[in-house]
Amino acid sequence: MGTTVYFVRHAEPNYNNHDDASRELSRRGLQDAQKLVNFFSNIIIDNFYSSPYKRAIDTIQPLAQARQKKIALVDNFCERKIDDVWIEDFESFSERQWADFSYKLENGESLAQVQKRNIEALEHLLGQNKQTILIASHGTALSTIVNYYQPSFGYENFQEIKSIFPWIVKIKFDGLTNLSITSYTEIGVPL
């Protein structure tokens, strides 16, 4: 029996809060977090994991509470660190990172670094779990995971999912081997 992993990119955040770790959900984000309870109503989830960032935790909190489950925080599932300061031209920066996975700002991370720590964390969990797990994540972090298993997933695909909150990706594994990836553009609508 393999492992099914549901990645849930956080719901819509409050972009007025520029602190990555404490950025909360917007009003719409809070409403969409509640919708996950219905989306997963017929799916058994054995364990819940999350990035330590508030918006990720808050996205799956209603579902975890409905299941009376605790959320284990995994630091390596946090979002990519861009720099110590807020950058205004995110588009150019993002495009350059996708063109060169080793590109980063002075105090930030490259996509290669983000991908490496996310895959290491995922493979660690796959070694512990043989059931269905849910991981709350972030757009760039999750995109690098999908890219790892589907190298054709690139900047254009990232642009397509950039405004999807929450974005759900279901990946089936046999051990560490990826068997299939299903992506949902909206809650319950396959991509």
In whole angstroms, give the CA distance from residue 103 to residue 94.
10
Q: What is the mean pLDDT of residues 118-140?
A: 95
- Strands ordered across the beta sheet of 132-137: 71-73, 47-50, 132-137, 3-9, 168-174, 177-186, 189-190
In whole angstroms, give the CA distance from residue 36 to residue 24.
17
Domain that holds residue 44: 3-80+113-190
- Is 61 part of a structural domain of the chain? yes
Q: What is the pLDDT of residue 7?
A: 98
- Is 91 part of a structural domain of the chain? no
**Alpha helices by DSSP H, the chain:** 27-39, 54-66, 90-99, 111-128, 139-149, 155-161
Q: Is the predicted pLDDT of residue 44 greater than 90, yes or no?
A: yes
- Is 94 part of a structural domain of the chain? no
- Is 54 part of a structural domain of the chain? yes
- Is 107 part of a structural domain of the chain? no
pLDDT band at residue 191 under the 50/70/90 scheme: very low
Q: Please give the tally of structural domains in the chain.
A: 1
Say if residue 166 is preceded by a cis peptide, omega within 30 of 0: yes
Structure-token pair, residue 177: 């081997």
Is the pTM higher than 0.85? The answer reads yes
- Is 38 part of a structural domain of the chain? yes
Q: What is the pLDDT of residue 130?
A: 84
- Is 102 part of a structural domain of the chain? no
Q: What mean pLDDT, rounded, does the chain reach?
A: 94
Structure-token pair, residue 91: 């588009």
pLDDT band at residue 20 under the 50/70/90 scheme: confident
Q: What is the mean pLDDT of residues 66-88?
A: 94
CATH number of the domain where residue 31 is located: 3.40.50.1240
- Is 132 part of a structural domain of the chain? yes
Tokens 């405004």 -> residue: 163
pLDDT band at residue 188 under the 50/70/90 scheme: low
Find out whether 129 and 46 touch, Cβ atoms under 8 Å. yes
Calculated CA dihedral for residues 151, 155, 160, 162, nearest 10 degrees: 110
Q: Is the predicted pLDDT of residue 132 greater than 80, yes or no?
A: yes
Q: For residues 26-37, b (16+ Cβ closer than 10 Å) or e, as one string?
A: beebbebbebbe
Q: Is the predicted pLDDT of residue 189 greater than 70, yes or no?
A: no
